[in-house]
Structures are given as structure tokens and as C-alpha cells.
């Protein structure tokens, strides 16, 4: 797999002629399926799918990113070339598991006994031509829940699929930051600001509006990791697959936290 094709990496893949190097290995029987994972814009994706013949495309597909990062458009570009899809981030780094009360009530009302994780996984798997749904699991309970979801798996009905759009609208109206906690920004930050942790605390605050918990947990971060230590170099944003303007967001969070304290 050509990992993480995006605005910053696409030309490097071209320059080193990676596709043809891998194709040679495929012809030798050392690779069975040759594909790519993608975290760029639809325009780049259009070029990538036309340049070569791919066996699969790994895309970030979930009911929130369907709109937010133009996931629907990306999926359709790949579908037009009839390329099988592997889904990554079906639960958006766990962000679609911890739903706000409003979103959770909406889900429970529409599908009683469905968990947010199960709904998110089933929503992603219900797309046509999806061959695999990847899910990062961090404990045994999550492993069990995922196995249960995909045992005797049934795709969502159209009516239940539409619920994803409604949940997405609720989540987007809460002012959360679209961070998937991939930590690519941490790899390049010269000040080692704990960006994903800060964004996660901010998002939890937007979900539950609990000011004291926000302040309390923010203050458990080391002083050197906090938003006000950012020097605005912008390196993190260049590495962010979600194209977030991280320095600006950190400035807003710093202001927000200081106003709450």
C-alpha cells in the first residue's frame, strides 16, 4: 500500500516511481493487491485514480466526514473507477463513540439498543464496494463489541442510514474540532505541544459543556505541552491530514481556557 497519499506526499510517490516499483513486485507474486491510502483533496484523488490501475483504495469514511472532508465525493471518485474500498477511521479516532447527549438521544430514539460504535461501523460498512472496515480497538470490550457488530452483519436500511446525516448535523453544530487523534502533528512539532489531547479536551467540553472538568483536565497537561507554548511555526498544519489550522485553533483554545479559569 502506498501509505497516506496527500498534497505533501503525492509528488514524492511520483518522483520515486513507487507504483511501478510495487507493480514489479506484484508481477513477481510478492504482492497480491496493490493499493493506496488517501488523506488529501478530491482533486488529487482524481489524478491518483487516473494515473494507475489500483486494486483498492483506503479512504476515511464515516458519517461525519462524508460531509466535513468531502468523503462522499472521494468515495464517488473511487467508485467511478470501480476500485474496491477499505474504510479507515469509521469511528473517527473514537470521536463517534463519545457522542453528546443530544446525538445519543437521537440515535437511541431511532434505533433502540444500538451503540454509537456499532452504528458507526455499520454505516461505513453499508457503502457499496466496501471490502474491509478497519477499526482501532484499545481494549477487550471493544474487540467483543466489534465482533458482535460484524457477526451476522446486516447492512443498514436506507432510513437508518439517513440518521447518520442527522447525527453529523448535530455534531457539526457543537463546534467540535475535526481531529482524528492520528498524532502526525506531534511528529513535527518542535515544542511538543500535546495537540490531539488539547483538541480532545476542547471537544469533550463542546459535548458536555462542563467548564470545571475542562479546566481541571487541561491543567493536568504539563506546562510545556499547553496551547500557549505554541510558537506559530505552522509545521503541524502541513502534516495534518484534516487540513486543520492548528496554530489558530490553539490560540482560540488558549483564550477559551483563560476565560474559563
Q: Interface with ligand SF4 by CB under 6 A: which residues?
A: 179-185, 188-191, 193, 195-196, 199, 230-236, 239-240, 242, 244, 246-247, 250
Q: Which is nearer to ligand SF4, 91 or 107 (CB)?
A: 91
CB of 256 to ligand SF4, least distance (A): 16
Query: DSSP state, 128?
Result: T
C-alpha dihedral sign at 114, 172, 92, 85: positive
CA-wise closest residue to 85 among 36, 46, 131:
131
CB of 56 to ligand SF4, least distance (A): 23
Q: Which is nearer to ligand SF4, 129 or 224 (CB)?
A: 224
CB of 112 to ligand SF4, least distance (A): 33
CB 236 within 8 A of CB 192: no
Q: Which is nearer to ligand SF4, 59 or 236 (CB)?
A: 236
CB of 255 to ligand SF4, least distance (A): 15
Q: Could you give the CA distance from residue 218 to residue 101 in angstroms, rounded to a whole number? A: 22
CB 71 within 8 A of CB 59: yes
Q: Which is nearer to ligand SF4, 92 or 127 (CB)?
A: 92
Q: Which is nearer to ligand SF4, 149 or 194 (CB)?
A: 194
SS3 114: coil
Strands of the sheet containing 85-88, edge to edge, are 2-5, 35-38, 56-60, 85-88, 130-133
Q: What are the start-end ranges of the H helices in 16-133?
A: 18-27, 42-51, 65-68, 71-80, 101-110, 116-125
Q: Which is nearer to ligand SF4, 11 or 232 (CB)?
A: 232
Kindly report the number of other CB atoms within 10 A of residue 129's CB atom: 13
Query: DSSP state, 157?
Result: P
CB of 44 to ligand SF4, least distance (A): 17
Q: Which residues pair with 57 in a beta bridge?
A: 36, 85
CB of 199 to ligand SF4, least distance (A): 6
CB of 93 to ligand SF4, least distance (A): 8
Q: Which is nearer to ligand SF4, 99 or 230 (CB)?
A: 230
CA angle at residue 211 from 187 to 231, to 5 degrees?
Answer: 30
Amino acid at each position: 500500500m502506498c501509505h497516506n497519499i496527500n498534497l505533501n506526499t503525492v509528488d514524492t510517490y511520483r518522483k520515486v516511481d513507487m507504483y511501478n516499483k510495487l507493480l514489479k513486485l506484484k508481477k513477481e507474486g510478492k504482492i497480491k493487491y496493490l493499493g493506496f491510502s488517501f488523506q488529501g483533496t478530491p482533486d488529487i484523488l482524481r489524478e491518483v485514480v487516473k494515473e494507475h490501475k489500483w486494486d483498492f483504495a483506503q479512504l476515511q469514511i464515516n458519517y461525519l466526514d462524508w460531509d466535513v472532508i468531502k468523503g462522499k465525493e472521494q468515495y464517488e471518485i473511487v467508485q467511478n473507477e470501480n476500485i474496491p474500498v477499505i474504510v479507515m477511521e469509521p469511528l473517527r479516532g473514537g470521536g463517534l463513540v463519545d457522542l453528546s447527549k443530544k446525538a445519543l438521544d437521537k440515535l437511541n430514539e431511532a434505533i433502540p439498543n444500538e451503540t454509537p460504535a456499532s452504528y458507526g461501523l455499520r454505516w461505513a460498512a453499508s457503502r457499496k464496494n466496501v471490502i474491509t472496515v478497519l477499526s482501532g480497538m484499545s481494549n477487550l470490550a471493544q474487540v467483543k463489541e466489534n465482533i458482535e457488530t460484524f457477526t451476522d452483519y446486516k447492512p443498514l436500511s436506507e432510513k437508518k442510514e439517513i440518521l447518520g446525516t442527522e447525527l453529523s448535523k448535530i455534531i457539526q453544530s457543537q463546534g467540535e474540532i475535526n481531529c482524528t487523534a492520528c498524532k502526525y502533528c506531534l511528529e513535527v512539532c518542535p515544542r511538543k505541544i500535546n495537540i490531539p489531547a488539547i483538541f480532545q479536551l476542547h471537544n469533550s467540553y463542546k459535548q458536555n459543556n462542563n467548564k470545571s472538568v475542562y479546566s481541571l483536565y487541561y491543567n493536568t497537561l504539563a506546562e510545556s505541552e499547553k496551547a500557549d507554548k505554541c510558537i506559530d511555526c505552522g509545521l503541524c498544519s502541513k502534516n495534518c491530514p484534516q487540513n486543520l489550522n492548528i496554530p489558530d485553533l490553539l490560540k482560540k483554545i488558549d483564550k477559551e481556557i483563560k476565560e474559563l479559569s
